[in-house]
């Protein structure tokens, strides 16, 4: 089986480092900052959209986004593992899945360099493919990232499973025609996932192991 994981809010709790980087960049460019608790509602669609949502509404121009991003990216590159941590039990679950012969992939809207660095730091040698936001490739919920994972693995027909914490991930899986499982420990409340029509939700990483054995769900 190929199991595709979202990164932020699924494998790792990255919100503190994302919030700190965004606040640093906002402060450097003269904009108001936010408490970290405000950031879960702003993430999920890539760094540019995070910055767009963080800017005052009247200031959300492409030029201002570029200005803030110019401070965000270098800071985040140096500080993206300060507070970021795997969700409890996730490293052990990934190792077990790998030992069982599953192929593991990451599909993230975080820019590619940071995606690779963070995944390799926390989960070395566990993922077969690591893809983030890349120039010229539409970000999730466009399904291209899923297609690119399959192309990289050179597999045309295989059992697939997509695991994520957000409605963006849900839409990505639907657009790619891949079965989706939501995790409730991420940045989107369980109630929102249910309201979106998602019925397969796991509340602990260890439940992923059980799902991979229940072929009737996949």
Sign of CA dihedral 149, 153, 159, 161: negative
- Residue 215: pLDDT band by 50, 70, 90 thresholds? low
Which pLDDT score, from 0 to 100, does residue 159 have? Answer: 85
**What residues are paired with 161 via a beta bridge?**
3
CATH for the stretch 15-79: 1.10.150.240
Could you report the per-residue pLDDT of 27-64, keeping only the tens digit for each?
999 999 999 999 999 997 889 999 999 999 999 999 99
Question: What residues contact residue 26 under an 8 Å CB cut-off, 6+ apart?
Answer: 32, 33, 34, 54, 55, 68
Q: Which CATH number fits domain 2-13+85-217: 1.20.1340.10, 3.40.50.1000, 3.40.50.300, 2.40.30.10?
A: 3.40.50.1000
Which pLDDT score, from 0 to 100, does residue 216 have? Answer: 44
Closest CA to 3 of 105, 135, 150, 145: 105
Secondary structure in 3-state letters for the chain: CEEEECCECCCEECHHHHHHHHHHHHHHCCCCCCCHHHHHHCCCCCHHHHHHHHCCHHHCCHHHHHHHHHHHHHHHHHHCCCCCEECCCHHHHHHHHHHCCCEEEEEEEEEHHHHHHHHHHHCCCCCCEEEEECCCCCCCCCCHHHHHHHHHHCCCCCCEEEEECCHHHHHHHHHHCCCEEEECCCCCCHHHHHHCCCCCEECCCCHHHHHHHCHHHC
Checking if the pLDDT of 218 tops 80, the result is: no
Checking if the pLDDT of 144 tops 80, the result is: yes
Checking if the pLDDT of 156 tops 90, the result is: no
Checking if the pLDDT of 19 tops 90, the result is: yes
**What residues are paired with 201 via a beta bridge?**
182
Checking if the pLDDT of 196 tops 60, the result is: yes
Tokens of residue 74, six digits: 């270098």
Domain boundaries, the chain: 2-13+85-217, 15-79
Contact 47, 80 (CB under 8 A): no
In whole angstroms, what is the distance from residue 90 CA to residue 149 CA?
21
Q: Average pLDDT for residues 142-168, to the nearest whole number? A: 90
Which percentage of the chain shows pLDDT scores above 70? Answer: 97
What backbone torsions phi and psi does residue 7 show, to the nearest 5 degrees? -100, -70
Checking if the pLDDT of 14 tops 90, the result is: yes
Could you report the per-residue pLDDT of 94-140, keeping only the tens digit for each?
999 999 999 999 999 999 999 999 999 999 999 999 999 999 999 99
Which pLDDT score, from 0 to 100, does residue 46 have? Answer: 86
Q: Average pLDDT for residues 157-163, to the nearest whole number? A: 85
pTM, entire model: 0.91
Checking if the pLDDT of 91 tops 50, the result is: yes
Q: How crowded is residue 205: how many other Cβ atoms within 10 Å of its Cβ?
A: 22
- Residue 212: pLDDT band by 50, 70, 90 thresholds? confident
- Rounded to a whole number of angstroms, the distance between the first and last alpha carbons of the chain is 10
């Amino acid at each position: 089986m190929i199991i595709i994981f979202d990164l932020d809010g699924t494998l790792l709790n990255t919100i503190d480092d994302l919030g700190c980087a965004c606040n640093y960049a906002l402060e450097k460019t003269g904009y108001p900052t936010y408490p970290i608790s405000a950031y879960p509602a702003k993430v999920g669609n890539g760094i540019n959209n995070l910055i767009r949502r963080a800017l005052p509404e009247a200031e959300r121009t492409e030029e201002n986004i570029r200005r803030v991003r110019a401070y965000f990216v270098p800071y985040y590159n140096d500080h993206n593992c300060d507070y970021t941590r795997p969700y409890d039990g996730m490293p052990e679950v990934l190792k077990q899945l790998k030992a069982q012969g599953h192929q593991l992939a990451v599909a993230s809207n975080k820019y590619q360099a940071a995606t690779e660095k963070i995944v390799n730091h926390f989960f070395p040698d566990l993922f077969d493919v690591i893809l983030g936001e890349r120039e010229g490739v539409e970000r999730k919920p466009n399904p291209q990232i899923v297609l690119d994972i399959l192309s990289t693995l050179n597999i045309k027909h295989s059992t697939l499973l997509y695991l994520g914490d957000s409605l963006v991930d849900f839409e990505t899986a639907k657009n790619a025609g891949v079965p989706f499982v939501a995790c409730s420990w991420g940045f989107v409340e369980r109630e929102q996932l249910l309201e979106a029509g998602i019925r397969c939700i796991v509340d602990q990483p260890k439940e992923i192991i059980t799902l991979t054995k229940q072929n009737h769900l996949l």
